[in-house]
Structure 1
Amino acid sequence: MKSVLYLCLFLLGLQVQGQYSRSNLNDEQQEQNIPHSPEHSQAEGENLAHVRIAPSNADFAFRFYKQVREEAGNKNIFFSPLSISTAFAMLSLGARSNTLIQLHEGLAFNLTEVEEREIHEGFQHLLQLLNDPHQEVQVTIGNALFIDNQLKLLQKFLDDVTNFYYSEVISSNFQNSADATKEINKYIEIKTHGKIVDLLKSLDLDTMMVLVNCIFFKGYWEKPFNNLATRDDVFLLDTKNSVKVKMMHAYKYFNIHRDEKLSCWVVEIPYKGKATALFVLPDEGAMKQVEDALLKETVSNWMQSLKKRIIYLDLPKFTISGSYDVKSLFEKMGVTEVFSDQADLSAVAGKSLLKVSKAIHKAMVAVSENGTEAAVVTVIEMVTTSAFAEFSLPPHITFNRPFLIMIFDKTTNSILFVGKIVNPAAIED
Structure 2
Amino acid sequence: MNLVADLLYLLACLTMVTCDRVYVHPFTLFCFNESDCDKLEKLVQEGKTIVPVSIESQTTPEYEAGMNENKLEAPSLSTWGKEERSYLSDLVYVLGMRFYSVLQKAQRGQNVLLSPTSLYSSLVSFYLGASNQTALDLQGLLGFVPPSGNPDCTSTAVGRNFLSSLRTIERLVKSGDEELLFSNTLSLFSAPGVPLFQLFMEHLLPSADAFYARAVDFANPGEAAKQINAFVEAKSEGQSKGLLADINPSTQLLLAEDVRLAVNVKQAFLLKEPQEFFVDSNTKVLVPMLSIMGTFKYKTDASGTFSVVEIPISKTALLVLLQPINGSDLESVESKLTWQSSAWLQWLSPREIKLVLPALTLEDSSDLQELLADMELPELLGKGADFSKISNASLTVGKVINKAFFKLASDGTDQPEDPAAQKEDGAYLDVTLNKPFLFAVFEKQSRAMLFLGRVVNPLHED
Match of 2:287 among 215, 233, 245: 245
For 1:37 and 1:49, locate their aligned partners in 2 and report how far apart those are by CA, in whole Å. 22
C-alpha change, 1:320 and 1:155, in structure 2 (3 Å) is: closer
* Counterpart contact for 1:172–1:180, Cα < 8 Å: no
Moved more, 121-130 or 247-256: 247-256
2:93 alignment counterpart: 58
Match of 1:123 among 158, 163, 167: 163
* Counterpart contact for 2:263–2:408, Cα < 8 Å: no
Question: Offset of 1:208 from its aligned partner?
Answer: 2.8
Question: Offset of 1:57 from its aligned partner?
Answer: 0.7
Summarize the alignment of residues 302-341 of structure 1 with structure 2, pairs less than 5 Å apart: 302-307=345-350, 309-341=351-383
Summarize the alignment of residues 95-134 of structure 1 with structure 2, pairs less than 5 Å apart: 95-111=130-146, 116=155, 117-131=157-171, 134=175
Larger strand fraction of residues? 1
Amino acid in structure 1 at the alignment position of 2:130: A
* Counterpart contact for 2:197–2:391, Cα < 8 Å: yes
2:437 alignment counterpart: 403
For 1:195 and 1:405, locate their aligned partners in 2 and report how far apart those are by CA, in whole Å. 23
- Deviation track 1:172-195 (CA, whole Å, cap 9, x = no partner) reads 252785886566435523554421
2:397 alignment counterpart: 356
Amino acid in structure 2 at the alignment position of 1:370: D
Amino acid in structure 1 at the alignment position of 2:93: A
C-alpha change, 1:70 and 1:322, in structure 2 (3 Å) is: same
Amino acid in structure 2 at the alignment position of 1:36: L
For 1:51 and 1:193, locate their aligned partners in 2 and report how far apart those are by CA, in whole Å. 35
1:78 alignment counterpart: 113
C-alpha change, 1:166 and 1:31, in structure 2 (3 Å) is: closer
For 1:321 and 1:216, locate their aligned partners in 2 and report how far apart those are by CA, in whole Å. 9
Question: 3-state SS of the aligned residue for 1:140?
Answer: strand
For 1:370 and 1:302, locate their aligned partners in 2 and report how far apart those are by CA, in whole Å. 27
For 1:48 and 1:38, locate their aligned partners in 2 and report how far apart those are by CA, in whole Å. 22
1:424 alignment counterpart: 458
Match of 1:366 among 400, 407, 414: 407
For 2:168 and 2:95, locate their aligned partners in 1 and report how far apart those are by CA, in whole Å. 21
Summarize the alignment of residues 227-266 of structure 1 with structure 2, pairs less than 5 Å apart: 227=270, 229-261=271-303, 263-266=305-308
Question: Offset of 1:171 from its aligned partner?
Answer: 4.4
* Counterpart contact for 1:251–1:311, Cα < 8 Å: yes
Gaps of 5+ in 1: 1-29, 372-389
1:22 alignment counterpart: none
Question: Offset of 1:213 from its aligned partner?
Answer: 2.1
Amino acid in structure 2 at the alignment position of 1:224: A
Q: Is 1:44 aligned to residue 79 of structure 2?
A: yes
Match of 2:201 among 158, 169, 182: 158
Tell which structure's C-alpha radius of gyration is larger.
2
Moved more, 113-122 or 279-288: 113-122
Amino acid in structure 2 at the alignment position of 1:130: E
2:190 alignment counterpart: 147
- Deviation track 1:352-409 (CA, whole Å, cap 9, x = no partner) reads 22232323444443333239xxxxxxxxxxxxxxxxxx99653221211110010111
Question: 3-state SS of the aligned residue for 1:83?
Answer: helix
Q: What is the TM-score normalised by the length of structure 1?
A: 0.75
2:257 alignment counterpart: 213
Amino acid in structure 2 at the alignment position of 1:422: V
Match of 2:176 among 122, 135, 143: 135
Amino acid in structure 1 at the alignment position of 2:158: E
C-alpha change, 1:161 and 1:128, in structure 2 (3 Å) is: same
Question: 3-state SS of the aligned residue for 1:341?
Answer: coil
* Counterpart contact for 1:50–1:126, Cα < 8 Å: no
Question: Offset of 1:349 from its aligned partner?
Answer: 1.4
Question: 3-state SS of the aligned residue for 1:82?
Answer: helix
Question: Offset of 1:138 from its aligned partner?
Answer: 3.2
- Deviation track 1:33-66 (CA, whole Å, cap 9, x = no partner) reads 56635444x4333489765422111111111111
Gaps of 5+ in 2: 1-65, 413-423
For 2:439 and 2:256, locate their aligned partners in 1 and report how far apart those are by CA, in whole Å. 25
C-alpha change, 1:245 and 1:129, in structure 2 (3 Å) is: closer
* Counterpart contact for 1:35–1:131, Cα < 8 Å: no
Query: Higher relative CO (CA 8 A, sep ≥ 6), structure 1 or 2?
Result: 1
Amino acid in structure 2 at the alignment position of 1:410: K
Question: Offset of 1:68 from its aligned partner?
Answer: 1.0
For 1:342 and 1:349, locate their aligned partners in 2 and report how far apart those are by CA, in whole Å. 15
Question: Offset of 1:84 from its aligned partner?
Answer: 1.7
* Counterpart contact for 1:157–1:348, Cα < 8 Å: yes
1:11 alignment counterpart: none
Q: What is the TM-score normalised by the length of structure 2?
A: 0.70
Moved more, 396-405 or 79-88: 79-88
C-alpha change, 1:193 and 1:408, in structure 2 (3 Å) is: farther
For 1:249 and 1:175, locate their aligned partners in 2 and report how far apart those are by CA, in whole Å. 49
For 1:33 and 1:56, locate their aligned partners in 2 and report how far apart those are by CA, in whole Å. 31
2:36 alignment counterpart: none
Question: Offset of 1:196 from its aligned partner?
Answer: 0.9
1:9 alignment counterpart: none
Question: Identity of aligned pairs, percent?
Answer: 22
For 1:158 and 1:287, locate their aligned partners in 2 and report how far apart those are by CA, in whole Å. 43
Question: 3-state SS of the aligned residue for 1:413?
Answer: coil
- Deviation track 1:305-362 (CA, whole Å, cap 9, x = no partner) reads 231x222322122333444443222122242213433222222212x22232323444
C-alpha change, 1:333 and 1:77, in structure 2 (3 Å) is: same
* Counterpart contact for 1:231–1:248, Cα < 8 Å: no
Question: 3-state SS of the aligned residue for 1:66?
Answer: helix
Q: Please report the RMSD computed on the Cα atoms of aligned residues, expressed in angstroms.
A: 3.4
